[in-house]
Homo-oligomer: A and B are copies of this chain.
Amino acid sequence: MPSTIRDVAKQAGVGLGTVSRVINGSPQVSAETRERVLSAIAALNFIPNPTARRLSLGKTLTIAAIVPWFTRPAEVERLRGVENTLAESEYDLVLYNVETPEKRDTYFRDVPRSERADGVLIVSLSPRDDDVEQLAHSTVPIVLVDANHPSLKSLNRVITDDVAGGYAATRHLIDLGHTCIGYISDPLETPFNFTSSRDRMQGYRQALTAAGVPIRSDYYRQGEHGRYEARRLASEMLQLPERPTAIFAASDTQALGVLEAAQDRNLRVPEDLSVIGYDDIEISEYIGLTTIRQMLYESGKRGVELLLEVLEAPATKPIYEVLPTELIARKTTAAPGI
């Protein structure tokens, strides 16, 4: 049984208020008394009970992070930014991992409550129309990381400009001389409401339109996230009479599937087919994959920093930060053959 603040007070021969003041560094304590209290604390190996502290302060000293499958390398990297930044603060991190649509809805409803957390970080899960109102009225500060919503003027958020990223990827292929450019992505509509694939596609279309390249619907396929499905989709696309000479995949993981499909059909990369991904996960450099790098670690870090700032001093208006993307040209893209 751990010792309490009252044990310390008795041991040091002071009142409990004084012990509390010493713990919290109040200047209202004489040097001599402080010394006595500190040695009593050391003697009893006393550590203040965080639960009692929380109840008394009316704060949970906890930040909740709602994150979809943290198996995905990109999400893990964001989370690492969150964890590292939070470790230096007095806040604990509690994880809510979303692997099903039901969990998403449960967590959206139950987690942003002042009894559970002082602040909530929602990562890569964009609110839907009916969520927005609810979240906006939450008494708990919320920061969205890599999540967006067109009508979302009322929530703080740190996003990557995925439209610009999609544009840059497509533009890179156009600049190399490609005009037959495919796009392979996860489903644009899911119960999770990820928006990144939609935004990247929008960038893709804008780049094509700006360059005067017609948009062909058979150059676009969507399917479950993951290598296998991407491989299947790419295979289909590569069997078209007029097959694309370049494919833009909505993530590096999916780009790996496209590379497999090329191999299946004996197409050389980049001579016969250029491939560009998105994220710049660790393995991409190993493969030599051309990709769009986004600031994953920083997005988590900035999200937490914003949240902590808002907790200190509630912001007058919602904060909106955009992180840049960067084209990393490696070995899987080149001018189209012949």
Contact = CB atoms under 8 A, between A and B. Distances in A.
A76 B80 contact: no
Query: Which secondary structure dominates chain A's binding surface?
Result: helix
Q: Give the one of A48, A71, A260 with max B CB within 10 A.
A: A71
Contacts of A48: 115
A18 interface: no
Interface string A45-81: 0011111101100001000000000110100110110
Interface in A90-116: 92-95, 97, 99, 103, 110, 113-116
Contacts of A77: 71
A189 to B, nearest CB: 26
A322 interface: no
A144 B175 CA distance: 54
Contacts of A70: 76, 79-80, 83
A239 B67 CA distance: 46
A304 to B, nearest CB: 13
A83 B79 CA distance: 14
A114 B49 CA distance: 9
A79 B69 CA distance: 11
Nearest to A80: B71
A184 B335 CA distance: 40
Contacts of A256: 286
Given A47-B110, A70-B83, 19 more contacts: A2-B113, A2-B115, A48-B115, A49-B55, A51-B51, A51-B55, A51-B60, A55-B55, A70-B76, A70-B80, A71-B77, A71-B80, A73-B73, A83-B95, A84-B97, A87-B103, A94-B94, A256-B286, A283-B283
Interface of A: 2, 47-52, 54-55, 60, 70-71, 73, 76-77, 79-80, 83-84, 87, 92-95, 97, 99, 103, 110, 113-116, 227, 256, 260, 283, 286
